[in-house]
Amino acid sequence: MPGSFPITAVVAIHRESDEVTGAHVRDARTGEESDIHARVTVNATGAWAGQVADLAGIEGVRVLPGRGIMIAMNHRLVNTVVNRCQMPTDGDIIVPIRTVSVIGTTDQHTDDPDDHTIDQNEVDQIARRRREAGARLPERAGAAGVDRRAAAVRGRQASPTPIRAT
């Protein structure tokens, strides 16, 4: 699809003087590299925002990557979204999707935004949190009932330091 870059890594940032004019990117699936030129460039790279800002020579964008997992049960546990009304914690939401329920998430610090490991202890932790909230799950989440597991990394700004171009 022209203009769409769904799985693309930023390799370099194009600059003219103090302005970012585009990026050199690599398609993560094919390895094909290309240049993107733009009048306006937005760094909407989430957990990778600090790394991309570094490529542009912009200091002060500190991002703390947090890896989280979700589990999909092989059956539906609830008929509506259940969210624990409290400050965010691990395993605080159940979302029914068609015939299954997705339960999540965890939040573990990682130094690598590409870290998609799934630790069995996190799967078990989600199950414990659901039992605490009253949802009926198997005693061990890794046992029968867990259909799929997924991991993703999200980024949080490390501090509200003003951002300055160098």
| Extents of the domains making up the chain | 8-63, 64-157
- pLDDT score for 145: 73
Q: What is the mean pLDDT of the chain?
A: 81
Task: Please determine, for residue 34, whether its predicted confidence score (pLDDT) is greater than 90.
Answer: yes
- pLDDT score for 126: 80
Task: Please determine, for residue 152, whether its predicted confidence score (pLDDT) is greater than 50.
Answer: yes
pLDDT tens across 121-145, in order? 888 888 777 666 655 554 444 444 7
- Selected from 3.40.50.10070, 3.90.480.20, 3.30.9.10, 3.10.20.30, the CATH number assigned to the domain covering 64-157 reads 3.30.9.10
pLDDT tens across 73-120, in order? 888 878 888 877 766 667 678 889 998 888 888 888 898 998 999 988
Give residue 104's identity as a one-letter amino acid code.
G
Q: What share of the chain is helix, strand, coil (3-state, %, to 5)?
A: 15, 40, 50
Question: Please, which contacts does 15-20 make with residues 24 or more away whose CB atoms are closer than 8 Å?
Answer: 15/56, 15/57, 18/165, 20/56
CA distance 36 to 15: 12
Give the sign of the dihedral formed by CA 52, CA 57, CA 63, CA 66.
positive
pTM of the model: 0.70
Quickly state the pLDDT bin for 32 (edges 50, 70, 90): very high
